[in-house]
């Protein structure tokens, strides 16, 4: 592997990618600043979408919603805030016609697994209590660590015979702890948004143990589930140079082998989480249009 990922980054992403910081997430003050800074993101105005709040949850409600999406933000389980996804949530509400419900969930290492997953499922149950307000049916989605939480939520809801999501909508999901245990993947260190060292710290914080061990708690690592049959249809995205590329492709393939419809969108030369920091570029607009069309078809 080359010392720098930048020569492989698609030209339209490269300038922004160079500006993305690589914070020392092992420091609590850094994580606090990252999450609380994201909370200050301005909330986008989208015609026809009302922004509501319920406690620590943001709700993007269109006129006459035809369903609802539980949306879980990214940040490696260690940083992040629902405000960071404001444009994605507001535009999805407007273009798909769904209520997007984005909770703030507990973060590691102060709140390791299963705190985040339990919080997500608590919001899922709360959504069903208010289905007449938000619209039905429901789907679950998320980005990065939030995408991993969404996948884990689908697995647990299936096993517990709870109200099932109509679809899982997974942007660059963080699905497997095992690859990050390989320290050879620490190079290149300049991967935008998420490199291997940061991800190893994130998994360690979330699991309460080093990644790659033989045993992990059930539902903590979605890719470790043996039987993926019975899960809801999935849409997944990844860049072909991002850290999670192989695990996302593998999960999509295994879903299909288990009889679960799975659409995988691969963006050439794309780093991690482009829908968060490059959503105004044409290639990302095309990906988001495809994602929203798929979600609309499921609801």
What's the mean pLDDT in 269-278? Answer: 96
As a whole number of angstroms, the distance between CA 176 and CA 161 comes to 24
CA 249 to centroid of chain Cα atoms:
15
**CB atoms closer than 10 angstroms to residue 12:** 15
Supply the pLDDT for residue 41: 57
Quick: pLDDT tens for 215-259. Answer: 999 999 999 999 999 999 999 999 999 999 999 999 999 999 999
CA distance 234 to 140: 10
**pLDDT exceeds 60 at position 39:** no
Q: Specify the fold of 6-38+47-298.
A: Rossmann fold (3.40.50)
* Residue 34 pLDDT exceeds 90: no
pLDDT tens for 77-110 read 999 999 999 999 999 999 999 999 999 999 999 9
**Mean local confidence (pLDDT), 155-159:** 98
Q: What is the pLDDT of residue 275?
A: 97
Query: What pLDDT, on the 0 to 100 scale, is given for residue 17?
Result: 87
> Taking residues 27-53, what's their average pLDDT?
66
- Mean pLDDT of the 192-201 span: 93
**What is the mean predicted confidence (pLDDT) over 269-282?**
96
Percent of the residues in the chain that have a pLDDT greater than 90, as a whole number: 85
Q: What is the mean pLDDT of residues 260-274?
A: 98
Task: Return the pLDDT at 37.
Answer: 52
Residues 124-150: tens digit of each pLDDT:
999 999 999 999 999 999 999 999 999
What residues pair up with 234 in beta bridges, in sequence order?
A: 168, 262
Least Cα distance to 76 among 211, 183, 214, 185 occurs for: 211
The three-state secondary structure class of 111 is coil
- pLDDT-derived band of residue 26, with 50, 70 and 90 as boundaries? low
Q: What is the pTM of this model?
A: 0.93
- φ/ψ of 262, rounded to 5, equals -140, 120
The ranges assigned to domains in the chain are 6-38+47-298
Confidence tier at 23 by pLDDT (50, 70, 90): low
């Amino acid at each position: 592997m080359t010392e720098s990922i930048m020569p492989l980054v698609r030209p339209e992403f490269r300038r922004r990618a160079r500006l993305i910081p690589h914070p020392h997430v092992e420091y609590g003050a850094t994580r606090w600043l990252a999450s609380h800074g994201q909370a200050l993101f301005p909330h986008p105005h989208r015609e026809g979408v009302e922004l509501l709040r319920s406690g620590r949850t943001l709700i993007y409600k269109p006129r006459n919603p035809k369903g609802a999406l539980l949306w879980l933000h990214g940040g490696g389980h260690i940083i992040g805030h629902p405000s960071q996804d404001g444009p994605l949530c507001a535009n999805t509400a407007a273009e798909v016609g769904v209520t997007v419900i984005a909770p703030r969930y507990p973060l590691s290492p102060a709140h390791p697994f299963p705190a985040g997953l339990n919080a997500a499922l608590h919001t899922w149950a709360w959504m069903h209590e208010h289905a007449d307000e938000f619209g039905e049916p429901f789907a679950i989605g998320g980005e990065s660590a939030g995408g991993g939480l969404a996948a884990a939520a689908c697995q647990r809801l299936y096993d517990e015979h709870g109200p099932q999501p109509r679809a899982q909508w997974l942007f660059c999901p963080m699905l497997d702890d095992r690859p990050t245990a390989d320290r050879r993947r620490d190079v290149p260190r300049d991967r935008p948004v998420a490199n291997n060292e940061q991800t190893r710290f994130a998994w360690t914080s979330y699991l309460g143990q080093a990644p790659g061990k033989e045993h992990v708690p059930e539902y903590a690592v979605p890719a470790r589930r043996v039987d993926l049959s019975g899960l809801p249809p999935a849409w997944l995205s990844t860049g072909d140079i991002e850290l999670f590329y192989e695990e996302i492709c593998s999960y999509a393939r295994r879903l299909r082998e288990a009889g679960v419809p799975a659409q995988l969108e691969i963006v050439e030369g794309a780093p991690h989480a482009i829908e968060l920091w490059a959503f105004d570029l044409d290639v990302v607009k095309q990906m988001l249009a495809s994602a929203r069309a798929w979600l609309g078809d499921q609801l």
